[in-house]
Chains A and B, each alone.
Chain A
Amino acid sequence: MGSATSELPARRTPLADAAETGLKIVVVGGFGVGKTTMVRSVSEIRPLNTEEVMTQAGVGIDETTGVQEKTTTTVAFDFGRISLTERMVLYLFGAPGQERFWFLWDRLFSGTLGAVVLVDTRRMDDSWYAIDRLEHHGTPFVVAVNRFDGGGRHSLDEIRQALALPEHVPMIDCDARVRSSVKHVLITLVDHLYDMALAQERTP
């Protein structure tokens, strides 16, 4: 359940010629939680993989060479695609939860519709940081608990408490391997966004 294959498909299926609007949803979570599996379950293409590289000038000068130190950050991520209509295509990104990834969030995922935080109850610590960062960036999200192994007997309420998750954030059980389950997670997220947008439009 690690990274997706980066081998190119024999033939990439092109989008409809009328396609004009690209949308983004990001799935975040710790290593091995099932992000790639989730993307694969609903994607119309075999998940692809790419990376972004960013170089930052380091602090201070290396005394021995006089060359300013630089830090290179590389973040790899998988993605899949869902054609919603002839004109509208949704890209689903599976992104790691580590610190260096959040460094590139604004650059890569500004304008994203929202995020799914995929949680493994055996490693909930991994989710903490992701939730904190999403709140910091003001990105709406839902929390999906991956019960792929039937695992974890914790109820959603217990998990909500453990994650100190506010009441207004939707939580659901899912099985990242099952297409209908993942579809339900995405609908829950967009429903949540719709409610938020409606409330905003009604507020003068």
Chain B
Amino acid sequence: MIRKPVDTGAPDRLYTVTGGRSHADDTFDLVTLVVSECEPAAGTQSEHVRILEICRHPTALVEISAELRLPITVVRILLGDLHATGRITVRHPRAAGSVAALPDTALLQEVLHGLRNL
């Protein structure tokens, strides 16, 4: 049996973008905020260039995904590349953790305050 290295629905394009990888780094949450730490170097893959440009200001993974029109999984793979080489830093959500865990009351109070001021 031939095992394809990636199989994410629209194989051709996604295969090219990720260099054939399908295993994403799940430490990147949908709302992990990403910040560029450098300007794209010449010869950088175009999706990496786009991410570095978008993330000059903090940008959530999900916004990068919408902007690049790429599925979440693919964006996680691309972010993994950039993170491993120090080209981005990430700010993970405080509240993320186990599914059923409640955030602490101090955080929720801050959220309530923010919502009431809208």
Partner of B105 from the list A20, A24, A198 (CB cut-off 8 Å) is A198
Q: Does A181 contact B (CB under 8 A)?
A: no
Q: Which residues of B contact A81 (CB under 8 A)?
A: 60, 63
Q: Which residues of A (163-204) have their CB < 8 Å from a CB of B? A: 179, 183, 186-187, 190-191, 193-194, 196-198, 200-201
- The answer to whether B67 touches A52, judged by C-beta atoms less than 8 angstroms apart, is no
Q: Which residues of A contact B2 (CB under 8 A)?
A: 67
Q: Does A98 contact B (CB under 8 A)?
A: no
- The answer to whether A194 touches B59, judged by C-beta atoms less than 8 angstroms apart, is no
Specify the chain A residue showing the minimal Cβ separation from B54. Answer: A12
- The answer to whether B29 touches A22, judged by C-beta atoms less than 8 angstroms apart, is yes
Contacts A22-B33, A190-B108, A194-B112 given; indicate if A17 touches B98 (C-beta within 8 A).
no
Q: Does A156 contact B (CB under 8 A)?
A: no
Contacts A51-B72, A52-B73, A183-B115 given; indicate if A22 touches B60 (C-beta within 8 A).
yes
Q: Which residues of B contact A67 (CB under 8 A)?
A: 1-2
* Total cross-chain contacts (CB, 8 A): 167
- Main secondary structure, interface of A, reads mixed
Specify the chain A residue showing the minimal Cβ separation from B109. Answer: A194
- The answer to whether A48 touches B108, judged by C-beta atoms less than 8 angstroms apart, is no
- Main secondary structure, interface of B, reads loop
Give Cα A42 to B22, complex, Å: 35
Q: Which residues of A contact B114 (CB under 8 A)?
A: 82, 84-85, 88, 90
Give Cα A137 to B116, complex, Å: 28
Shortest Cβ distance from A198 into chain B, in angstroms? 6
Give Cα A93 to B60, complex, Å: 13
Specify the chain A residue showing the minimal Cβ separation from B114. Answer: A84
Q: Residues on B close to A: CB < 8 A?
A: 1-2, 7-10, 22, 26, 29-33, 54, 56-60, 62-63, 65-67, 69, 71-73, 91, 93-100, 102-105, 108-116, 118
